[in-house]
Structure formats: structure tokens, C-alpha cells
A and B are shown apart, each in its own frame.
Chain A
Amino acid sequence: MKAFQYATAHSFDSARELVADNGMYLAGGNDTLGLLKEYLVSPNILVNIKSLPGLDKIERGSDSWKIGALVTVAQIENDPQIAKTFPGLQQAAAEVGSQQIRNVASVGGNLAQHSRCWYFRHRDTLCMKKGGDLCYARHGENRYHSLFTGNTCISPVVSNLATAFAALDAKAIVLRDGKETPMTMAKLYQGAWENPQSHNSLKPGDLIVRVEIPTARTSSAFIQMSDKQAFDWALVSCAAAANLSGGKLNSPRVAVGCISPVPWQVEAANQFLDGKELTDDVASQAADMILKGAEPHEHNGYKIPMAHALIRRTLLKLKG
């Protein structure tokens, strides 16, 4: 890795100032260290944000919960109240990497992590995401890649939490130019949808301070499918959330992970589900709508039936 400075920020202002235009925030470091070691990033400074006040808290309000950006994935996994209130979120956290990774991984870092595309992560390929002029995956080994994208790069979003948050309609609160800017998951990843070189919509200096989850949806679920039973990225993941009353869905939301640079949500499907009774058939129709227009590449066509199954199963799981 290239030499860099290291500083610990104790206030939000100093964090912003220290990180300037060419620095990086450092939370758990799971992602950052890997990127540094492979020369994929070369910040001039790493700004440790772990001493910023208040970011490690979970505040449980009646309308919404606030999850600080430094709360770890393991905390979410092990919090019995989260398991009760947002089971989909707890399940998404429990599937992240390994126990060791979950122990250090922060919510903010999980959302802001960089692409896992193996061309992006390879030290000797200059792909589009790294400023090259070619998406190698599009032409090559694309088994882990997107079915939908708004640009040439087909690297998908792989954050488990992003998928779960999207279904819960949670917002990341981003400190931008001294102001708190709420961003839906769609908005947080819009940058990656549009621009092959982006991993998300964050600009230099943007700091995720917390995530706010409305408590409106009392049922939620998350399912992922991987090659291996444990310690493996999702090939496809799915989260769903809704209110269930009298067997009918109310304000349902479905989000699919790993098939697009954004957690994949189709508003028409959410509307279709609204007010419906959950049956195999309804779930299946929703899955059709969500996957409509998918553009499979040579090796990732399997994600369509897999996502279809996961959407159906996750929806049915809402019934408990």
C-alpha cells in the first residue's frame, strides 16, 4: 500500500476537515484494509471515525429507530429487540461474512463498502470501475454480476444491510457539507447505477451518521442464497417488509440484492402487493414483475430463477 497519514477525529467538523478531498474514513477497516493492500485505493489520509460521539448507539423511538453508523453488524445480529422489531434486518446481519467480520464491520462501512466484482478487486486488471475503458465482466466471467444496470459496469451491490434497509424503507442520514441529508437506499446507490466508477452516491467527505428505520412495517424477512452454507457472499438476496393485517399485506416493500448496482426495487410490484392476501400465486406474480426486463449475461442467467424463488419465499416468510 502507499504511505498515508492517520488521524483520529473527535468531532464531525474535524473529521470533515481531515478527510478533505483525498482522504478516507476508517471504521472497522474490513473493506478499507483490503482495498489499500491491493493498491485499489490510495488515500493520503485515513481518518478514524470510531471516536466520533454518539455513532455507536441504537435509539428505539416509537415511529422510527436510529441505528448509529458505528453500530456493528454483530450487534444487530445479536440484539433481541431488533430480532423482534426488524427480523429481516437481524437475518440480513447474521448472514454477513463470518463471525470475525461481523464483530468489526460497522453499519456505515457495510453500506459504503466498495464493489466486490473480481475484476475490480484484482490487482492486475484495469476495469471500468478503476478508470479503464472496458467492463471485463460483461465479456468474461460474470456469474456474480448484475441483471439490471444503468451503465456499462455490471458490478452489483452486495451489502446485506442495504437490501434489508431498502425493504424497511430506511434512510441513511448523511452528513454532507455540515447538513444532515436523508437518503433512501435507492438514492444512496443511485450513483453506482449511473456511473461505472462509483460504488454509491457518497461524495468526498460525506459521512453516514446513522440509519433511520420506520417502525411502520411490523413484519420483515430476509433470505440469501450462496454457493456455500456459511461464510460466503450472497449470489442473490431478498428482503421484504410489510404490515400484515387480517392476512392482507399493507405497505409492502421488496428489495433484491446482488442483481443490480442498487438494491433492486420495483414500485409497481410493491403496489401490486398492497392490500393483497399472501398466496403462492400472488408472490409469484410479484416476482415476475420485479424481474421483468432482466438482462442476463453469459453466466448469470441462473440469478433469474434463483431471485424468483427467493422473492416468493421471502414474501411468504412474512407470514411467520
Chain B
Amino acid sequence: MPSWPAETKYISKNTLRIDAPEKVTGRARYSSDIQEKGWLYGMILRSKWPAAKIKSINLDKARQMPGIKAAVLSPAIEERQKNGADLTLRFYGEEIAAVAGTSKSACIDALKAIEVDVEPNDNFVVLEDDAKAPDAPRVWADAPNVGDSKPKETGDVDSAFGECAAVIEGFYTTPVQIHNPMETHGSTTSWTDAGVTCWSSTQGITSVKNGLAGALNLDHDKVRVITDFMGGGFGAKFNPGPHTVMAAKLSQAAKAPVRLMLTRFDQALAVGNRPSSFQKIKMGATADGMLHAFEFDNYGTAGIGGGAATGGGGSGVTLPAPYPTYKVPNTRVKQASVAINAGGATAFRAPAHPPGCYGFESAMDDLAVKLGVDPVEFRIKNAVTEIHKKEFKLGAEKFGWKDKYKKPGSSAGVVKTGVGCASAAWPAGGPNNKTQGEAQINPDGSIEFRLGVQDIGTGSKTVIAIIAADLLGLTPEQITVKVGDTNYPPGPGSGGSTTTASISPTIYDICTKALTQLQTQSGIADARGKNWKAACKKLGVSPLVVHGNWIEGLSTKPAYGVQFAEVDVDTDTGLVTVKKIVAIHDCGLIVNQITTESQINGGIIMGMGYALFEERVMDDLSGVVLNPNFETYKLATMGDIPEIEVTLLNMPERGVIGIGEPATVPTAAAIGNAVANAIGVRVYSLPITPAKVLAALGKVPKANSATT
């Protein structure tokens, strides 16, 4: 079996991103920076109605507007029109058509000129509880809003509750979270006789290539997708989506490259999101502190659905329950998805885990309090894996849990301090075993790696350079890394926290093969390090090109982690201030310490936004998303970010595992528990706003019904 070297110079150490200079100087060209010769702006017309039927649509006037070079229908509408089907719109923001023109303002004017005759349908529903009502308007005429929800049972939950020393019940809810990567969705797409080239902001160049070829009826070899630099995806950027398909069609019609990047407004409506959850939990433990019975009834919305637009993993509303860190022998779990007239869901950093963790870990704390036991000891007792137990112990020590944990609500004064913790168990994170790559070794000793993976900002290029440098006895600066092009050997999509575990063994394989071949060809027994140049020189004229695959034995899954939070809660104003997060995570062999810590910092900040700020707000009267901007869709900024202390457990013996997703899983639950510990009552709903804290404290007077 292959194994990672015991002595390393770069692996498990700190290497700054090899592309950092390009990024900080602005030389890096992100997908949204691409300016192909003669490029046009592309822009999308979206539904202004939460539900409507298009009676007729005419693009001619738009096409005749000054500066406009092309206009096309959305793929879905074009398809339905072809089949003579109803042109039904099901949510505010659904794509209708797109235009391409020489300026943004020309496009905006042209969108206004598109003639759409619609019959608005006032029978729509945008709130989960409204959609569940038996007489609710149907989002899909041929199916009820509430999906099938047969309970799953283990053991005998009903009698098990009778055996419990303490039982708690709670209704824990989480909102729909909107995808807001720094770079919005989009591409520059050019369709010429030679085929389609698409500079896409994607986390899956191969899935975009295949999706685009399918949608455009082209052979796969006629589509090339390039992603040199991209500004984040978080699960929402695996597929071309209607915007890329329309960009291609606009390019074909206009005979020019079309750059179609979505706006922030678009982003809030139609690129997928994290579903909401409404979790009714009943949970009990026996007198010896062991979890014994668990009943779970959850519903949530994926808008009009997860559906075909879903890539990269579970986008549904089904949560991991009981949360897999723990084991409960007797369970009854019921989950249902509720359709509403709103944009559909898609994968979102650790799909299903942050809400699943929030519900279960909140219940864990509530139960620990009821049992009168320490929440950390309770968790250690019930954790399934030794790694989790170790992480809880280590975390408690680093955090100073023993000193900091007080009885809920017992901290003195108006501003109360509280602490809480939660865990992550990320079951995916395993490798994509079809990953391939190649290296070209030149006679002058320069070496270039080419992989059809993409670096979505996580530092994948640097991972390649680090591993190659250690295995070949070179420095990372000596390694040239090329990724983000479907002309290279196929790599994994960057999702499920699988990228590092997919590419690391592949680089290992390439390096081993390259060394063997180089040593044979050059006659130098050990071509590494100081012999490298001499060995390469012996290649003569022809470079050596070596192809490698992902190989067994160097990567694994899953990853775990725990986080501890300390908060201040102002009980007069309801303001929650997160003071400190201590995070303990493992992901097998740490390849690059510094970028791994960055993933965890980012995951915590995102999780904090989920805990305190983020929430898609729908208006039930108009059916619109009320906060399609950063003014009222609130994201954590610098001022909100607490002290973050990250400890990584390096476990080379396990091989490489991913980290991007587990890092964001436990944060909201830990903060929620810290708030409950501070004020002595639980806020059952994310985000934990001052309004909800004050309500939980019983300080909010009832609405004056005469005025509402």
C-alpha cells in the first residue's frame, strides 16, 4: 500500500497560496473579469409574479432596441412553447428571457421592451405553514404541496420514552439561507463554428461542460469550460443553469461572446438556496445519562423543489436525524418537504447538516439541563466515535469549559455571558476515485501539472504544489500548476469536501510514476531533490509526460469536529455578541495547515451569519423576496467576527479528508446553545435576532390587533 511520507518539508506545514501574488495584485482574472474580443453584456428578464401564466411573449421589440444584438427565451419556456405546454411561472424571479447588448443600460432598456402578456395567478403561497394547509393553493397542479412523509422507526420509541428519566420537547426552526458567494453566478460564453467556450464561475468544470453540451445538443468535444479563478460557489455552482445556457444561445445568435453574470438581486431569487427546517423534537435520556428515545417531525421548504437543477448532493429538506455524532436506540423520524412559490433549493455548504446539527444539538443541551448534567460530559458519554470524544475533551480544555460553564441564566447583570458547544460529523468528504491528472517534465527541470479540477478559492492549486514538492524533493515555487480547463484530464467537482482527498492521491500517483520513469530514462537512481535537474537534462529533447490516477490507500472519510462558543447577551436590547469560538477539527492528513485553518475560519464566519443574521424574507401578500440585497439580507462583516481559535488534529495515518463543509456545521448550534445558557431560556429559531431574544425573555408586548 502507498503511504504518505513520515518526514515532510511542506505537507502539514504552512504554505501561502501559490497564486496569492496574482490575487492581491489584481492580475488574477476571475470568470467575471473575462473580456473576450467583441464581448456583449447579457441580462435576464425574470418573473415579476410569484405565479402566473404567460399568454404570449414577443422578443422582437427588444431585439430592435439600440445596441441589442440578440434575445432568447429561457430554456424552460422555449421547451414548453415547443411542446405546446402551458407557460406557467411558479416563482418570483423565474427566468423568462435574456438579451445581449453592447452596454448594461441597453440591456436593461431592452428587458423593459420585451412584451410579455401574462395572466397573474393570485393563488400562490410563499410561507411554509400556509402551504401546508389542506386548502392551500397548489404550487404544482398535479401534486400536493406536502411531500410524502412516512415515518422511519428503530426500536420501540413509545415505550422507550416511558423508561427515560428526563424528556424534553422543542420546536426548533431554521430559515432559508441564500447563496451569496463573493462572485455571483455567470460566465462569458462564446459559441462559434468551432464550438462553445465557456469561462464559467463554476465549482465543476466537467459538470458544466456536460450540462451545457446536453442543453445545446452538442457533442461533448465541442464544449470547453475554463475556470481560472473563481469567487466561491458553496454548492450552488455545479451546473450551467439557465443563465449559462442562455448566454450560449445569445452568443450563437449575436455571433459574439456574451458575458452574463447575475446581479445580487438575481442571486437572491433563482440560484438555489439552503432549505428551511421546522423541527419538532422530543428526546429522552435514562437516569445514567444515555440517550434513549428520539422523536422527530420535520418539514421545510426547497421552494418549487430541489429538482433537476440540483447538483453536488442533497438539496432536499431531509436532515440527518438523529444527528450522526450520537446514537439513540429508539427513534421515530418523519420528514416532509413543503413546496412554495419560491426559488428552488440546491446544495449549500454541508447540505442538511447545519440545520440538522442545530436542532439536535439544541435538544442535547436542553436535555442535559433537564437531567442536571454537564452538557460536554453528556455529549462525550453519547458520542459514537473516539475522535469526537477526544475532540470534546480537548475543546473543553482549550476553551476553559469547566470554569466558564455556569447554570443557565445564572450570570449576573444585564449583559449575560453564556457558553455552548456542538459537533459536526461530515459523512461525505471521501474522494472522487475517477480523478486523473498529468505532469509534463521538461528537460530543463521545469514541471507542470495539469488537472481538470478547479480551484474555487480553497487553495487546491497550492495543495498540488505542496504534495509534488515534497514527493519530488523540490520547492512549491518550482511546480507549475494548471487547473480549471476541461482540456486537461478530468478532475472532481469541488463539492462535498472531496477535492483535496481526490487530487492528493492523484498527485502522489503521478509523482511516483514520474520518478520511476525519470530514473529509468536517466539512469540516476534517485532523481529527487538535488539530482532533479541532472536527471531531467538526460531526457534530451522530449519532455516526459506522465499520466496518473487516484489511488487507494491515501485518502478516506469522514471528518469530525467540535466547536465551543462564548457569547454576551444584552438582556435589555437582545443583542448577541459572539466573543469567542474555539474549534477542534480533524481531516486526516493536513496537507496545508494555513489554508485548512482558513476554511475553518470561513466556515465559522458563515455559520455565525446563519446563527445571527441570515434569512430570506418572503412577503406573503406580494410573493416577492423582500431582502434581495446586502442591506437587509444581512451577512457577518468584520465587526461581527469574534476571536477564533482553531486546533487541527493531524492524523496522517488516516490519509487525506476534506474540511470545507464540516467547518461550518456546528457554529450556529454552538452559538444557539451559548445564548440559551446565557439567558436561561431558549431562542428556538434562527437567526437569533435581538427581537427574538427579547421575545424569549418575555419582554415583548403583544401586537395591537386593532392596528395590524
- Name A residues whose Cβ lies closer than 8 Å to a Cβ of B: 1, 116, 118-119, 122, 124-125, 134, 136, 138-143, 225, 227-233, 235, 295-302, 304-306, 308-310, 313
Contacts and interface: CB of A to CB of B under 8 A. Distances in A.
Interface string B534-572: 000000000000000000000000000000000000101
Contact of B626 (A122, A295, A304, A310): A122
Contacts of B634: 227-228, 232
Interface in B379-425: none
Interface string B215-251: 0000000000000000000000000000000000000
B701 A122 contact: no
B637 A231 contact: yes
A88 B57 CA distance: 57
Interface stretch (B36-44, B346-354, B489-497, B573-581): B573-581
A229 B707 contact: no
Contacts of A309: 570, 572-573
Contact of A225 (B573, B621, B708): B573
A140 B631 CA distance: 19
Nearest to B632: A118
Given A139-B708, A235-B691, 9 more contacts: A118-B617, A136-B621, A230-B638, A296-B700, A299-B691, A302-B691, A304-B700, A305-B572, A309-B570
A230 B694 contact: no
A306 B690 contact: yes
Interface in B582-614: 612-613
Contacts of B76: none
Nearest to B640: A229
B84 interface: no
6 contacts: A118-B632, A138-B707, A297-B707, A302-B694, A305-B700, A309-B570
Contact of A310 (B92, B573, B691, B706): B573
B703 interface: yes
Interface string B675-708: 0000000000000011100110001111110111
B573 A228 contact: no
Interface in B349-374: none
B575 A295 contact: no
A172 B627 CA distance: 33
Contacts of B691: 143, 235, 299-300, 302
A306 B414 CA distance: 13
A228 B704 contact: no
B622 A124 contact: yes
Interface residues of B, number: 41
A301 B701 contact: yes
Contacts of B638: 230
Interface of B: 48, 92, 108, 570, 572-575, 577, 612-613, 617, 619-622, 624, 626-627, 631-632, 634, 636-640, 689-691, 694-695, 699-704, 706-708
A84 to B, nearest CB: 25
Contacts of A304: 700-701
Nearest to B619: A140
Contacts of B637: 228-231
Nearest to B641: A229
A221 B622 CA distance: 40
Given A139-B708, A232-B634, A119 B700 contact: no
Contact of A305 (B108, B577, B632, B694): B694
A230 B637 CA distance: 7
Contacts of A229: 577, 637, 639-640
Nearest to B48: A124
A302 B624 CA distance: 25
B624 to A, nearest CB: 6
A284 B704 CA distance: 23
B257 to A, nearest CB: 26
A230 B639 contact: yes
B690 A225 contact: yes
Contacts, number: 111
B696 to A, nearest CB: 11
Given A139-B621, A227-B689, A297 B626 contact: no
A304 to B, nearest CB: 6
Contacts of A308: 572
B639 A296 contact: no
A46 to B, nearest CB: 16
- Closest CB pairs A-B (n = 7): A230-B639, A309-B572, A302-B691, A229-B639, A305-B699, A301-B700, A302-B694
Contacts of A310: 573
A140 B621 contact: yes
Given A119-B619, A122-B626, A139-B621, A298 B690 contact: no
A227 B622 contact: no
B619 A125 contact: yes
A227 B703 contact: no
Contacts of A232: 634
A16 to B, nearest CB: 30
Residue of A119, A296, A299, A302 ringed by the most chain B CB atoms within 10 A: A302
A125 B574 contact: no
A119 B626 contact: yes
B200 to A, nearest CB: 27
A302 B626 contact: no
B474 to A, nearest CB: 44
Contacts of B695: 301-302
A302 B690 contact: yes
A141 B619 contact: yes
Contacts of A296: 700-704
A125 B708 contact: no
A302 B632 contact: no
Residue of B48, B620, B624, B702 ringed by the most chain A CB atoms within 10 A: B624
A136 B626 CA distance: 11
Residue of B573, B617, B699, B700 ringed by the most chain A CB atoms within 10 A: B573
Nearest to B265: A123
A228 B708 CA distance: 27
Given A118-B626, A302-B695, A227 B48 contact: no
A300 B689 CA distance: 12
A102 B694 CA distance: 31
B624 A122 contact: yes
Residue of A227, A308, A309 ringed by the most chain B CB atoms within 10 A: A227
Contacts of A125: 619, 622, 624
Contacts of A233: 631
Given A229-B639, A229-B640, A305-B700, A297 B708 contact: yes
Nearest to A307: B573
Contacts of B706: 295
Contacts of A139: 621, 708
Contacts of B108: 1
A208 B172 CA distance: 50
Contacts of A301: 695, 700-703
Nearest to A37: B108
